[in-house]
Structure 1
Amino acid sequence: MSEFKVTIVDSLSFYDRCLQETVDEQAFRYEIMKPFEEMWHYLNAPLVSKKPGGYDVLMASEMLGIWTPRKSVDLIKSRLEQLKESNIFNECTQVIAESTRLFNEIGYQIPFEELIVNILLGDPENGILMASEGYSGFGGIPGYIFLIVVPNDFNQVRLKSALAHEFNHNIRFTYEPFNHGDVSVEDYLVIEGLAEVFAEKLYGVEYRGPWVKEYDKEELEYTIEVMKDGRDVRGFDQVCAYMYGDEVAREQGYQPIGLSRNAGYTIGYHLIKDYLKKTGKTIAEATLTPSSTIVEESRIFD
């Protein structure tokens, strides 16, 4: 049975202070991001850049859509109470326990000693974050999870599902580590499909994320064909166009390839659903299965 410590960063106290007094960027670095220093090290983002204005945790955080004290506090004034009302801070350990139980049931010993969770207010001026109904997450480094949220009626009830989604990434990457520079379209379809189906298993389809779209039969078949042709494309920059679609590709400077927003998430979801239906495997078992096996046995590209 897996046993590990769950630590939740006290971001609420930090935001309370931000609304009551002037809080500088150093507090953000050392109070909010210091617990994630090892994760940022993997991502080549130091707590403080060696050069003024250089790449560091502030710049990286802002790129992810996280609010920092370099931006106006007015952007979060009306959001903090909504974040508290979502109850995700109280429900966080329960979500982790319920997620862990699915892996305990198949005898998988989760190989980290501590999981650190940081629930952060997002930047409502970040277009990509707001295009996903104001919430996102990052679980790409085992032992660390971010949830990023600009609270609203849609996402407040989906934060447990979003946390489970990121937890699945954590476990997947203990089995098959994420290779940013060499990830393929096929790999990424599996990664995101596993995470969303895992969350759906725990909390129901009604709390599914907005990144899974409802395609009609024609668009679904067309998108599957595009993915089939590009399934061996490798490298995060190239893969992003397949996963996020043309709109985001243009915003990020990638080459559009004729896909709707979040096309890869949608096809990944269907790929995993097909795999589970055809094999009878559980979503936990699938999370610990090679991508190539999942794709082949799903038969989605046949």
Structure 2
Amino acid sequence: MKIVVHDTASAMTDLLQRPVEERPDALREIYSPLQGVMSRVMGDVDLVGMHQQLGSGFRIDREDPRYLPAVRRMQDTGVWTRIEDSLATAWERISRAVPGVKHAETVHVVVVLGNPDDHHLTVRSAGFFGSGGFPGAIQLTIWPTDTSLQKIGPAAAHELHHNVRYANVVWNPATVTVGEQVVAEGLAEAFVRELAGEEAMGPWTKALTGAELERTYEKVTAGIDVAGMQNLPAYVFGDATAQLMGYQPVGLPDFAGYSAGLRIVDAHLAASGLTAAQSVALSAREILVNAGVPTGA
């Protein structure tokens, strides 16, 4: 696997010094390494439109004096090098654990500055998140804070686990289940823990404890066979994020599926003796069975 972490620091610095009317085309160039990969799965997707619509990425329709210093802070703290090193370590671990595992020949990694005024990014997601479910493409969004700068490398490893998983496991938007999504998130976070310890994990899997975790686990596992991409966000990300994305809530707190997914994966790891790296290409059904979660899938 060839991993290419694109120099979006220079590209964003250039973009932020251009007139506002030139910025959409400059942002399209930044996203261009992902365009071909994602279009093969999603059709003719407009990544700049998605960036603007979702609101978590930096604004391109106005000047903001916070942006250039934020990019410089990311450069000064070695964000791109950290991500590159973390991904190299992650791929070495997975390829040793599962020799011959299917994977994209080249994975393009694009890091973009986040929007400091976006509550979903800066509060709910602690300043960073990523997308890595399209084999060959990883996109990371970050607003630099002490926490996000510390965790962006492990977050990239989390996304690489997804990237390899979905080169092996079929992800069909019409048939994908809650079980698949929460298993994938649990595996990716357990993988981060294997690589760098519990302190490197994202805040999502540890947000729920006690009675709230029990209630969440029961509700998520009761919906484990719910299918269809449009039905999953509330189970995985919680009601608030689902509503932000235009989907129906189901009565779950933020990142419910991450906490439930890690609990499922931990039960699978204990029962099977496998690692999260070794489990990257296993079906959700096998993991759910090992964890003792009933499923009709």
Confirm or deny that 1:60 pairs with 2:59. Answer: no
Shift of 1:228: 2.1
Shift of 1:20: 3.5
Q: Aligned partners of 2:267, 2:216: CA distance in 1, in Å? A: 16
Q: Aligned partners of 1:145, 1:108: CA distance in 2, in Å? A: 21
| Unaligned ranges ≥5, structure 1 | 47-55
| Residue in 2 that maps onto 1:15 | 12
Shift of 1:202: 0.7
Shift of 1:224: 1.6
* Counterparts in 2 of 1:215 and 1:57: CA distance versus 1, 3 Å: closer
| Residue in 2 that maps onto 1:24 | 23
TM-score by length of 2: 0.90
Confirm or deny that 1:274 pairs with 2:284. Answer: no
* Counterparts in 2 of 1:191 and 1:152: CA distance versus 1, 3 Å: same
**Equivalence map 1:132-281=2 (5 Å):** 132-281=125-274
Q: Aligned partners of 2:105, 2:89: CA distance in 1, in Å? A: 17
Q: Aligned partners of 1:217, 1:300: CA distance in 2, in Å? A: 20
Opposite residue 112 of structure 1, the aligned amino acid is: A
Shift of 1:214: 3.9
* Counterparts in 2 of 1:223 and 1:33: CA distance versus 1, 3 Å: same
Q: Aligned partners of 1:104, 1:251: CA distance in 2, in Å? A: 37
Q: Aligned partners of 1:111, 1:244: CA distance in 2, in Å? A: 26
Confirm or deny that 1:92 pairs with 2:89. Answer: no
Shift of 1:195: 0.9
Shift of 1:141: 0.8
* Residue number among 85, 109, 114 corresponding to 2:106 in the alignment: 114
* Counterparts in 2 of 1:188 and 1:219: CA distance versus 1, 3 Å: same
| Residue in 2 that maps onto 1:128 | 120
* Counterparts in 2 of 1:237 and 1:93: CA distance versus 1, 3 Å: same
Q: Which runs of 4+ in 1 moved over 4 A?
A: none
Shift of 1:138: 0.8
Shift of 1:175: 0.9
Q: Aligned partners of 1:24, 1:251: CA distance in 2, in Å? A: 25
Q: Aligned partners of 2:161, 2:62: CA distance in 1, in Å? A: 32
* 1:75/1:123 contact within 8 Å kept: no
Q: Secondary structure at the match of 2:80?
A: helix
Q: Secondary structure at the match of 1:112?
A: coil
Moved more, 19-28 or 277-286: 19-28
* Counterparts in 2 of 1:187 and 1:172: CA distance versus 1, 3 Å: same
Opposite residue 38 of structure 1, the aligned amino acid is: G
Moved more, 88-97 or 271-280: 88-97
* 2:135/2:164 contact within 8 Å kept: yes
Q: Aligned partners of 1:174, 1:167: CA distance in 2, in Å? A: 11
Q: Aligned partners of 1:194, 1:19: CA distance in 2, in Å? A: 37
Q: Deviation per CA, 1:175-216: give whole Å up to 9, x if none.
A: 103222321111111111111111111111112101113433
Q: Aligned partners of 1:267, 1:196: CA distance in 2, in Å? A: 12
Q: Deviation per CA, 1:32-56: give whole Å up to 9, x if none.
A: 122222123132344xxxxxxxxx2
Q: Aligned partners of 2:31, 2:244: CA distance in 1, in Å? A: 27
RMSD: 2.0
Q: Aligned partners of 2:52, 2:118: CA distance in 1, in Å? A: 8
* Counterparts in 2 of 1:70 and 1:193: CA distance versus 1, 3 Å: same
TM-score by length of 1: 0.89
Shift of 1:108: 2.9
Q: Aligned partners of 1:220, 1:61: CA distance in 2, in Å? A: 32
| Residue in 2 that maps onto 1:36 | 34
Moved more, 108-117 or 160-169: 108-117
Shift of 1:143: 1.0
* 1:40/1:57 contact within 8 Å kept: no
Paired residues in the alignment total 289
Q: Aligned partners of 1:37, 1:135: CA distance in 2, in Å? A: 21
Confirm or deny that 1:5 pairs with 2:13. Answer: no
* Residue number among 269, 273, 288 corresponding to 2:281 in the alignment: 288
* Counterparts in 2 of 1:110 and 1:100: CA distance versus 1, 3 Å: farther
| Unaligned ranges ≥5, structure 2 | none
* 1:272/1:294 contact within 8 Å kept: yes
